[in-house]
Structure 1
Amino acid sequence: MTMKPLAGLKVLDLSTLLPGPYATMLLADMGAEVLRVESPSRPDLVREMKPSVGRQSASFAYLNRGKRSIALNLKHEQARQVVHALIEEFDIVVEQFRPGVMARLGLDYEALAQINPKLIYCAITGFGQHGSRAHAAGHDINYLALSGISSASNGHLSSVQIADVAGGSQPAVMAILAAVIQRQTTGEGQFIDIAMSDQCVALQPLMMPVSLNSDADFVGDDHFLSGGGIYDYYETSDGYHIAVGSLEPQFRYRLLERLDQLALNDKPDSEVKGVLQALFKQQTRSHWVSELAGIDACVEPVLTPQEVPKELHHQERALFVQGDEGDIQVRPTPLLSGMSHDSLSPAPDLGADTQSVLAEIGINEKDYQALKASGLFD
C-alpha cells in the first residue's frame, strides 16, 4: 500500500467539539500522527452524544478515529513541562481556546516556538485573535449572522455546521499544509489565526463582491440562489421535497418539457415557480423521481440522512465504510490515489495513551506514578 501523504507529521491537538477535531481528523486520515490532549475532568462533550457505538459516541468515533489520547490537567503546574517536552517532537499544534488562554498557561505560540522554531501553531476561534469581538462567545449561528450568510439564505437554519467546518476546519487544514510546504523552504514555523467569522465572509464569492461593489443587497428572496428564481426545494404530496437546480436555459427547457409545461419557458421565474410548486404538490416524491429520471436537468430528490447510504451513487463511490467498533462512518476524504481505508482504527478512550506517550518523552514508571499522584492526570 502506498504511504499516506502526511505520514511523519506529528500533530498535537488541544481542541474539542467540532472545528479542531474535524481538522485533525482530516490530517489523520491523510497519515498524520495526531495526539489529543484532553482534560481528565471536563471530557469533550461530543463523547457524551447519542447514540453510542461500543464505548464511544458515534460522532466522537468518527471525529477522532486514528488518533491517540493523553489526559492532562493543563492548569496543573507540571502540565507546562510535559507539553514543552512533547513540543520538541511535534510539527503542528491545533488549539481552540479563546485568545489569551494559552498564554496564561504558558503554552502560546511565542512560548512554544522558543522550544521548537519549526512549530506550526494553528488557533481556531470564532472571531480571531484581535478585534472588539475577539473574546466573545459564539456559535455557528452567530458567525453566519455576522457574515451576511444568514440574511442571504432567508435566515434558514441548517443542521450542518457551515461556520465550524467550512469556516473553521477546512481553512485550518489548508493553512497548515501551506505552512508545512513553506517550512520546507524557510525552515521556520508560524502562527495561523483562523477566525470562523472571517472565513464565513470569504465563503460568499458570488454574493459578497456584488454587495461590495454596488448598491444591491441580496436579502431574503431577492437572489436567484436564495429563492428568487426556480432554484429551490419543492414539497411533494407526501411531505418530502424535490430539489430543482435548473438555472441554465437548457436545463430549464428539459425540465419544463418533461413536465409538459414548455409554454412557460419564456415566462418570468415567479410565474414558473408558482406552477411548479402546485405541480410537485400533486404527486409523491417517488413519483417525481421516476417521472424525472434521466432528463439531465439538475433535479434530485431531497434525501433524509438515513436514506443517504442507500443512494446507489454513494454506494458506487464507496462513500461509507465500517469502523472497528462496527459503526458506519463516512469514508475519509479527499481520497488520494493509493490511499486505502479498508480499516479505520477506533477513537481512543480518554487518556488511553497517557503512560505510553509520556514514556516516549523519557518519563519512566516511577516518575509517571509520582505525576499521577500529584493530580496531573485528574
Structure 2
Amino acid sequence: MSGPLSSLKVLDFSTLLPGPFASLLLADMGAEVLRVESPSRMDLVRVLPPHDQGVAASHAYLNRNKRGIALDLKKPEAVELVKQLVQDYDIVLEQFRPGVMDKLGVGYEALRAINPKLIYVSITGYGQTGPYKDRAGHDINYLALAGLASYTGRRDTGPLPLGIQAADIAGGSLHGVIGLLAAVVQRQVTGQGQQVDISMTDCAFSLHAMSGAGYLACGVEPEMENQALNGGSFYDYYRTRDGRWFSVGSLEPQFMQQFCAAIGRPELSARGLSMKPEDQQALKREIQMEFERRDFAEWREVFAALDACVEPMLNLAEAVEHPQLQARDLIAEVPREGAAPQRQIACPIKFSGGLDAPRHIGVKVGAHTDQVLAELGYSDERIAELRAGKVVA
C-alpha cells in the first residue's frame, strides 16, 4: 500500500457509522486498518438495507480496504491477542461507552503499558467525562442537546431530521480523524502516544461557528428562520411550477443583480439583505411567485450559464451523473470477490501524488482471522484450537 498514511497501522474496534467512516478515510489514504469484530454480536450495519448480492451496501462501503478479524474479547486468550497486536499496530480506534474497554482488559492504560507510542482514539456520544458520559444517544439526540436543531427548520413545522448523520460524521468521524492525525504529529516530536477523547456532542456544539459566536459575544439567540442563512432571508429554496426546487444563495450584490434580472425582476436586487426580517419574508414571496411561473428544466437552462450562486436541487441519482462530480472522479469501481465491481463513493480528498485504487469492499466477519494470526506466528494447530474454543472466528 502507498498513500500519505501508509505508515499507520490501525486496530478498529468501532461499529455502526462514526468510527467506521473515520477508519474508511484512513484506509483510503493508505493506512493499514484491521477491523476487530465480535464473532457473536453483529454490527447492525451488516444487515441494514438495501443489499447488493446479499451484502449491505452501507457495510460494503464503510469497510472497504480494511481487513477483518473476529475476537471474543470476553475470553482471556482474545485479550492477549490484542496485546500482541498493539505491539505492531500503533493506533486504536474504539466506540464503546466509557469504561467498557477497560473492563475487557484492553483500555488505554492497559495497552499503553505495552506500547507507550500508542494513540488511542475513543469516540462516544458525550465523551469520557461529565454526567452524560454513560448515557445512550443517537445523532438526532446530539444535535438536539448541542442546540443545533433549535434553529434548523421552519417555525410552523419545527426542527428537521437531517438526511445525513451530521453529529456522527462531522462530529465523530471527521473530528476523530483530525484528533488522531494531530496526535500522530505530536508523537513524531515527543515519541509518546496519548488518548484522544472525541465526544460527538462536543463536536456538534463546535459547529455553531457563526451563531455560537454571535450568542456568546453578543447574546443574540439564533432561532428558526431569524438569520440570513437559516431561512430568515431570501437565501433559501424555491419550488418550481412542476414541484422541483432551486437553491438561491445570491448574497453578494453582484450575484443578486444577476439573479433578479434572470427571473425578470431586476428591481428586487436593491432589497437584498439590508431589509428587516418581515421585509425579507415579503421578498421571498415575490421570488417564489416568479419560480412558480416555470418548470424545473426551464429554470435550469436559465441559470446554467449564470454565475449567480443559484443551483438546482438534485436528487442523488442526478448528483451522481452531474458533470462536476464526474470530473472529480467521485464514483469508484471497487473490486469484490467472485462478482463484478461495486460502485461506491470515492475518497473525496485529492492528493497530487494520487491514491491507490480501492482494493476491496467490506469483508465478512473474521475474513482475515487466520491470516492475521499466522502473521503473529500462530501455527495452524493453535489457530484451530482458538477456533474450537470460540476465541476467534
Match of 2:373 among 350, 355, 358: 358
What residue number does 2:156 align with? Answer: none
Matched, 1:286 2:285: no
Q: How does 1:37-186 map to 2 (within 5 A)?
A: 37-154=36-153, 155-186=159-190
- Quote the Cα distance in structure 2 between the aligned partners of 1:320 and 1:53: 17
SS in 1 for 2:27: helix
Q: What secondary structure is seen at the aligned counterpart in 2 of 1:127?
A: coil
Greater displacement, 358-367 / 109-118: 358-367
Answer whether contact 2:28 2:355 (CA < 8 A) is retained: no
Q: Distance in 2 between matches of 1:160 and 1:181?
A: 31
Q: Is 1:122–1:172's contact at 8 Å kept on the other side of the alignment?
A: yes
Deviations, residues 280-330 of structure 1 (Å, cap 9, x unaligned): 123221111112222211000111111111111111111111111322111
Q: Provide the rounded CA distance (Å) in 2 between the counterparts of 1:56 and 1:335.
A: 28
Counterpart contact for 2:263–2:291, Cα < 8 Å: no
Q: Is the 8 A contact 2:29 2:355 kept in 1?
A: no
- In structure 2, distance between residues paired with 1:258 and 1:105: 64
Q: Show structure 1 runs of 5+ residues with no match.
A: none
TM-score (norm 2): 0.93
Amino acid at match of 2:347: P
Q: How far apart are 1:343 and its partner, in Å?
A: 4.3
CA distance, structure 2, for counterparts of residue 106 and residue 241 of structure 1 = 54
Q: Which amino acid aligns with 1:315?
A: Q
Q: Does structure 1 conserve the Cα–Cα contact (< 8 Å) formed by 2:64 and 2:358?
A: no
Superposition deviation, residue 219 in structure 1? 0.7
Cα distance between partner residues in 2 of 1:338 and 1:55: 36
TM-superposed deviation, 1:346: 2.2
2:335 corresponds in structure 1 to: 324
Residue type of the partner of 2:383?
Y
Using the TM superposition, give the Cα deviation of residue 79 of structure 1 relative to its aligned residue in structure 2, in angstroms. Answer: 1.6
1:3 alignment counterpart: 2
**Could you tell me the TM-score, scaled by structure 1's length?**
0.97
- Residues in 2 aligned to 1:170 and 1:183: alpha-carbon distance in whole angstroms: 20
The alignment's C-alpha RMSD in Å is 1.4
CA distance in 1, matches of 2:216, 2:315: 37
Are the counterparts in 1 of residues 37 and 71 from structure 2 also a CA contact under 8 Å? yes
Give 1:83's aligned amino acid: V
How far the C-alpha of 1:236 sits from its partner, in A, is 1.4
**Which piece of structure 1 moves more, 335-344 or 22-31?**
335-344
- Show the 5 A alignment for 1:219-230: 219-230=223-234
Q: Deviations over 1:18-61 (max 9, x none)?
A: 00000000000110000000111122111112222345211111
Distance 1:36 1:131, change over 3 A: same
The 1:288–1:208 alpha-carbon spacing in structure 2 relative to 1, beyond 3 Å, is: same
SS of equivalent to 1:233 = strand
CA distance in structure 2 between the partners assigned to 1:243 and 1:111 by the alignment:
52
Quick check: 1:332–1:341 contact (8 Å CA) kept in 2? no
For 1:164 and 1:127, locate their aligned partners in 2 and report how far apart those are by CA, in whole Å: 12
1:341, CA displacement in angstroms?
Answer: 4.5
CA distance in 2, matches of 1:311, 1:341: 24
Contact conserved, 1:128 with 1:193, CA < 8 A, in 2? Answer: yes
- List gaps (5 residues or longer) in structure 2: 154-158
User: Deviating runs (4+, > 6 A) in structure 1?
Assistant: none
Superposed CA offset, 1:325-365 (max 9, x none): 32211111211112245444222211010011111112211
| 1:85 to partner: Cα distance | 0.8
Could you tell me which residue of structure 1 aligns to residue 307 of structure 2?
296
Structure 2 partner of 1:196: 200
State the alpha-carbon separation in 2 of the partners of residues 284 and 150 from structure 1.
32
State the shift of 1:190 in Å. Answer: 0.3
Structure 2: distance between partners of 1:22 and 1:245: 30
| Cα pair distance change 1:118/1:178, threshold 3 Å | same
TM-superposed CA distance for 1:205, in Å, is 1.2
Q: How big is each residue's C-alpha offset from its partner over 1:176-205, in whole Å with a ceiling of 9 and x where there is no partner?
A: 111111111111100000000000111121
What is the one-letter code of the residue matched to 1:59? S
